A and B are shown apart, each in its own frame.
Chain A
Amino acid sequence: MLIKIPLTFLILLIFFANGCKESEKENIKENPEATQEPDTVYDETGLLYTSYKNLVMAGYQGWFAAEGDDSNRGWYHYKSNCGFEPGCSTIDFWPDMTEYTKKYITPFKHADGSYAYLYSPYDEESVDLHFKWMKNYGIDGVFMQRFVVEVKDANPAGKRHFNKVLENALKAARKYDRAICVMYDLSGCSSEDIAYVKQDWEALQQQFALFDNEKNPGYVRHNGRPLLAIWGAGFDDNRKYAVADIQQLVSGLKGINNKVAVMLGVPYYWRTLDKDTENNPLLHDLIRNCDIVMPWAVGRYDSERYDIAGPVLAGDIQWCKNNGVDYVPLVFPGFSWGNLQKDQSLYHAIPRQKGDFLWKQIAGAKLSGAEALYVAMFDEIDEGTAIFKTARESEVPLNGDGRFVGIEDELATDYYLWLTGQGARWFHGEGSFSATKPQR
């Protein structure tokens, strides 16, 4: 599956054979002598993660800021459009603040009258703690989310924020030997914004020496090249950019020497081109041009409706084998966005069931033949998919007319880190696991 030069050759052949005028033109322009140019060869000495295969990695939002941190962004992403006070917030889960060394007092109080605190990923200490957890629980690492609309030149505060969080993360990844990779999220982009990704990506490489084997030995490689993830191709939700824009971006990023490996984040029904997916066969051409495909499964099923995933996984894996693309399914612990949507019926919209739901997906992916996992997400508390330590139901602060939700009282706050770690062990080939959730 990881044959290098012939694969490129094959992909291009398929591409040309397809006869789509736009893509053809584009390829000729970008890659006039592609078949003659050798792939870029990287020295992999000292690298910790030379393939996504067998890894279990999570998405890392890192978008929160706290009033009083150095980002000067106030309660960014914690606050709602009505402010940040009881009854007004976008988060459903509340982080378990026990181990944070740097924390910020909030306007929220616990039932006993004590104030509740939050962290800021702008602080090196807090990101360090998160990577320490990853190491302690055996989770391989994270994809650092980079929202294109937040890191544009027109948004200096956002850019400063995400660069600082990335800096913190790279440092912590080095310290704890964790895998790390950049993931661009195209949500909200226009066609022009997409072209900007290449510029930003080249700047990042310079600024952080991303591919320096000594400085960043944990930066994930795949198919012999550094991995870059691009999320948001083919969604049928009226986006302001087209599959062709991403096609152009990928060609540009790879260049004539196939400089990077690309993981593409696509909708759940990418293969059958229906439901959440634009009915556009070009998406399949784009995926064939990438190295890994990662379908977005959050909200596509709950525990009761997980039966839809069996055929999807089996069909996707078969398609990927036939087309020489690697496949990474997504798993998530549950979903809750009552406060974000200001709708109390959406608390625990997809219940966690004490980890049964997460394990069902881990086992479903593994038993279907998946070789790696993407966990959504490490620290996402707006949509309640976080696996990091969050307060239990009985420990969350009061929230005016609404409430916060917590993980089940019977569980330790680190339970979802632990359970994800067990999944990682299974994917590493350690221990003995099955469809039955492991007992702690």
Chain B
Amino acid sequence: MKMRKNIGAILLVLLLGACSDVLDLEPTDKLSGQALFSDPAGVKLYMANLYYQLPIEDFTYFRNGFRINGGDPNNGGFAPAMQTDEAVHSEFGDFIGDGDFNWWEQSYKLIRDVNLLIDIIPTLDIAEEDRNMIVGEAAFIRAYTYFELAKLYGGVPLILSSQNYEGEVESLKVPRSTEADTWNFIMEECDVAIANLPESWQGGERRGTRWAAYALKSRAALHAASIAKFGNKAPLSGTAVDQKLIGLEASLASPYYEACIEASEAIMNAGVFSLYKPDPASPEEAAENYRELFQDPNIAPMEAIFIKGFARPGNETGHNYNIWYQPAQTANGWPHPGRMNPTLEFVDLYESYDNPGESDPIETTVSGDIEDYNGFDPAKEYLHFSNPYEIFAGKDARLWGTVVLPGTPWKDQQIIIQAGYVKPDGEAVIRLSDQITVDGTVYYTYGGPNPNTYSGFDPFGGNNTRTGFGFKKFLDQRTPVSPGWNQGTTDFMDFRYAEILLNYAEAVLESGMGDATRAAQAMNDIRRRAGHTVAIPLTLENLMRERRVELAFENKRYWDLIRRREYHIIFNQKRMHALFPLLDLRTSPPQYIFVRSFVPNVNPRTFDYKWYYRPIPGIGANELVQNPQY
């Protein structure tokens, strides 16, 4: 079973008490605040509530917000990955809308709660050491929250102490700061957190540590630097731009990259962290190591810098990755599995071991043409395979650890993903339910006689993949899924060492500062852990491929596309791609062929420039300057 040694009292308090009434009461005056905070247990209680509100992009984070794990959180399982090129939803084809990715009021509620704590810290009758830790923790939470706001909205009002309503609303209205000032504030708050937080907590409690604060700074500084460097790839106009509420001067790129390098180096030099199982004996071992790392990150304290725990099943404590994304065959009675469908462009990204440093797109024909998405063509000479996963042989171990490939085992079943067949007479039947008897054997288009015997391409219920790929990363292979809401208890690594190495390498590469040799080493260490044995040069193409592959589905891709201003370039009438495995009955015995296709029933996707910043809600009342074009 899951190892639990890292979970201390704080988390239990957090998770058990998260929705009890006591935590919804805010201290209304100094006296009750004093009473609460002068007791260490009171501090923990209050702190647990703050951590609970922290906008961590974990398994409960979806396009409609954070902590989507209360009651009946039926949002279709529409994860942010489905609005990137990593995946499509099995059923819904919609792209980003103005209503997605908003977290304004909830952020300011958390900021108010932190500010109440910050205001009272100087008056607390506690040891200096404890006071410093609270100062550090409050700064960490505030930096984290403003980071989320800055990512979403650009420059935001910086509320630095709790506001009191004294019958006059106008004084409570704080205008937006510039985006530059907002990022600078985040950097400063990170520094306060770094200076005051301990390196670890007694009993291994999952609270902000000095290392988590460095990691936050590494991620935030890289984000800001990227906006400064690439912002002009997607220019916007309007009042918010004129007042510098959004956008950063190009000259700010260097100092932010430098901040990223320094923060990342602090972690790299600490001697505390390393990659989990850095030197596998074979790609097979590497694939299994990688899968296990996400099935339970508690096995990898050397890699995990900050873990969000999901300690027990239940409302607001468990999550739904296991039920939403399980292949249909292992849904264990749950009616809505199979939602996360990794795309062909994502699978194409991976290297093969025999050609390091190059993505190796899936070739399906003798001619090797990979640009033809026009469907099955009887005149084409397709490559034939005796089993449906042979075509992926030699691909990067992480593909096998991230994606359920057609015909591969999962939870002691063989996961059948088949789009159709080609009859002996050459007629192809694709994405239709059909069967045929050839030489006394019955063959089914979807590879099985009824829906619980396959996991692909049957459009019924949205339970089957329509890209040809199922989802594996983070899912727990050891136990059958509990077919109910909020039953998932896999823990989530918010910051891990591999990300820090990749942040470092990117900052070095983009800025020309720092140690290029060490940066290349960082990238190649991660590749070595994935079973590669040949080091490749640190180029932008190599590094970005590595980042996409290593951090796949960790909710990084959306922000990478945003901060590097690549969203509108990649998503310009973008049609998503799938791989259709077909059983070719023209050969005997039948063999598998594959057809590169458009994902069925998904409209072309185009990213609007304005979506680089989200709309601020309630400008009629708060009188803030709105972001452009909303």
A–B contact, 8 Å CB criterion (strictly below): yes
Interface pair B250/A302, CB less than 8 Å apart:
yes
Nearest B residue to A349 by beta-carbon distance?
Answer: B251
Q: Which of A256-304 contact B (CB under 8 A)?
A: 274-275, 302, 304
Interface pair B255/A275, CB less than 8 Å apart:
no
Q: Which of A125-142 contact B (CB under 8 A)?
A: none
- A274-B242, A302-B250, A349-B249 given. 11 additional CB < 8 A pairs? A275-B242, A304-B232, A304-B250, A305-B232, A305-B250, A345-B251, A345-B252, A345-B255, A346-B251, A349-B251, A350-B251
A interface residues (Cβ-Cβ under 8 A, vs B):
274-275, 302, 304-305, 345-346, 348-350
Main SS at interface, chain B: helix
Residues of A within 8 A of B251 (CB): 345-346, 348-350
Binary interface profile of B, 232-267, with partner A (CB < 8 Å = 1, else 0)? Answer: 100000000010000001111001000000000000
Nearest A residue to B249 by beta-carbon distance?
Answer: A349
Nearest A residue to B252 by beta-carbon distance?
Answer: A345
A-B contact count (CB 8 A): 15
Nearest A residue to B229 by beta-carbon distance?
Answer: A304
Q: For the complex, what is the distance from the CA of A70 to the CA of B249, rounded to whole Å?
A: 42
Residues of A within 8 A of B255 (CB): 345
Q: For the complex, what is the distance from the CA of A146 to the CA of B530, rounded to whole Å?
A: 69
B interface residues (Cβ-Cβ under 8 A, vs A):
232, 242, 249-252, 255
Give me the 6 closest cross-chain CB pairs, A-B, nearest first. A275-B242, A304-B232, A349-B251, A305-B232, A304-B250, A345-B255
Q: How far is the CB of A306 from chain B (nearest CB, A)?
A: 10
Q: How far is the CB of B131 from chain A (nearest CB, A)?
A: 32
Q: For the complex, what is the distance from the CA of A348 to the CA of B252, rounded to whole Å?
A: 12
Q: How far is the CB of B231 from chain A (nearest CB, A)?
A: 10
Q: For the complex, what is the distance from the CA of A302 to the CA of B252, rounded to whole Å?
A: 13
Q: How far is the CB of A350 from chain B (nearest CB, A)?
A: 8
Q: For the complex, what is the distance from the CA of A349 to the CA of B252, rounded to whole Å?
A: 9
Nearest B residue to A305 by beta-carbon distance?
Answer: B232
Residues of A within 8 A of B250 (CB): 302, 304-305
Q: Which of B242, B251, B252 has the most CB of A within 10 A?
A: B251
Listed by A's residue number, 7 A-B pairs whose Cβ atoms lie within 8 Å are A274-B242, A275-B242, A305-B250, A345-B252, A345-B255, A346-B251, A350-B251
Q: For the complex, what is the distance from the CA of A253 to the CA of B17, rounded to whole Å?
A: 78
Q: For the complex, what is the distance from the CA of A275 to the CA of B242, rounded to whole Å?
A: 6
Nearest B residue to A276 by beta-carbon distance?
Answer: B242
Q: How far is the CB of B241 from chain A (nearest CB, A)?
A: 9
Q: For the complex, what is the distance from the CA of A345 to the CA of B255, rounded to whole Å?
A: 8
Q: For the complex, what is the distance from the CA of A330 to the CA of B251, rounded to whole Å?
A: 22
Q: For the complex, what is the distance from the CA of A277 to the CA of B479, rounded to whole Å?
A: 66
Q: For the complex, what is the distance from the CA of A313 to the CA of B242, rounded to whole Å?
A: 20
Nearest A residue to B233 by beta-carbon distance?
Answer: A304
Q: How far is the CB of A244 from chain B (nearest CB, A)?
A: 25
Q: How far is the CB of B442 from chain A (nearest CB, A)?
A: 64
Q: For the complex, what is the distance from the CA of A350 to the CA of B251, rounded to whole Å?
A: 8
Q: For the complex, what is the distance from the CA of A304 to the CA of B249, rounded to whole Å?
A: 11
Residues of A within 8 A of B252 (CB): 345
Q: How far is the CB of A44 from chain B (nearest CB, A)?
A: 45
Q: For the complex, what is the distance from the CA of A216 to the CA of B252, rounded to whole Å?
A: 48
Residues of B within 8 A of A275 (CB): 242
Q: How far is the CB of B502 from chain A (nearest CB, A)?
A: 26
Q: How far is the CB of A388 from chain B (nearest CB, A)?
A: 24
Q: For the complex, what is the distance from the CA of A247 to the CA of B440, rounded to whole Å?
A: 98
Q: For the complex, what is the distance from the CA of A348 to the CA of B232, rounded to whole Å?
A: 19
Q: How far is the CB of A42 from chain B (nearest CB, A)?
A: 43
Q: How far is the CB of A340 from chain B (nearest CB, A)?
A: 16
Residues of B within 8 A of A348 (CB): 251
Q: How far is the CB of B238 from chain A (nearest CB, A)?
A: 10
Q: For the complex, what is the distance from the CA of A148 to the CA of B242, rounded to whole Å?
A: 29
Q: For the complex, what is the distance from the CA of A346 to the CA of B254, rounded to whole Å?
A: 12
Q: How far is the CB of A331 from chain B (nearest CB, A)?
A: 20
Q: For the complex, what is the distance from the CA of A348 to the CA of B242, rounded to whole Å?
A: 22
Q: How far is the CB of A307 from chain B (nearest CB, A)?
A: 8
